[in-house]
Amino acid sequence: MADDIDKLIDWARSQGWSIEVDANGYRRFYAPDGSYVVRYPATPSNPRRRLLDVVTATRAHGLPWPPPSKKEQRAQRRKDGRK
């Protein structure tokens, strides 16, 4: 599950979102316009539903879904001349 929230964070950052992690482990999601949207707890008792809550909230604020597949990401990197 930690892996899933990290993937969501990576995707959101790539789309102009900023995610701050505080000393207690809370991840706070800010939309590209800087507005605060939602947070993900450090140790949620129901991590799957909490992740879905964050997905739902960030999508409601314009985060495109789904993220591109690994194949598409590789193709994009090749196009951009990156490894």
**Which residues lie near other proteins (CB under 8 A)?**
35-39, 41, 44-46, 48-50, 52-57, 59-62, 64-66
Query: Smallest distance, Å, CB 81 to other proteins?
Result: 16
- C-alpha angle 4-14-1 in degrees, rounded to nearest 5: 5
Q: What is the CA radius of gyration of the chain?
A: 14
Closest distance of CB 82 from other proteins, Å = 18
In the complex with other proteins, which residue's Cβ is closer, 35 or 83? 35
- CB-nearer residue toward other proteins: 19 or 41: 41
| Alpha-helix residue ranges (DSSP H) falling in 1-83 | 2-14, 47-60, 70-79
Specify the residue, 9 or 44, whose C-beta has the smaller distance to other proteins.
Answer: 44
Q: How far apart are CA 43 and CA 31, in angstroms?
A: 23
